[in-house]
Structure 1
């Protein structure tokens, strides 16, 4: 029996990074797969997804939102322009980007990370749509 005050989970089935091909001619992609407008004291958006990068040109980013990034595979190199330090993140490493952070992403091979950001969906990836539990055909 479910109480009126309880809200059910949203479960995304098969939201794995293997469903995220890079666009033709690109070496990196941001693939948002879930976003909500929070119902907290100070409402904000929370969006999560996968970041994939392969060897190629540096990818600059200047943050006007917060982001947490957790590396799942490969290596992601991040040049922090505030310090001049390049961080070499490998599986199990975590990075937090503050509003105002300015970085350049790169890799010598490939890298995959899961992220959560405080912004609405920008790049919904079509291969991840319709995977909510109850809608998924998996």
Structure 2
């Protein structure tokens, strides 16, 4: 069950996996579509992903401004879950498309490679290292 947050519409489930769920919500203040990434604390601990999740949050909390990076609007937690409220990016994650399609055309591969290189270059210019 998703907790109620006064600035968001009632979220609808967009994606579910064993470790996380992603909900689509709308900001009542700006009418902007937002993604709410929900991580189960127990699953994060079992997979030894605590450091990775905290690193992700610490990077997202910075005032980064790049078209290929999601903005973290705010985060919160319950006793069992972590919540990240992010920009909603229509089309989902690249990993989903790779799993579904297995092979991309050369043109599409170049397109994604350019976006990734641009985002990584920006992160490096902000003294953030991604490995």
Determine if the TM-score, normalized by the shorter chain, exceeds 0.5: no
Q: In which range does the TM-score fall when normalised by the shorter chain?
A: 0.3 to 0.5
* Structure number having the greater strand percentage: 1
Of structures 1 and 2, the one with the larger relative CO (CA 8 A, separation 6+) is 1
TM-score by length of 2: 0.33
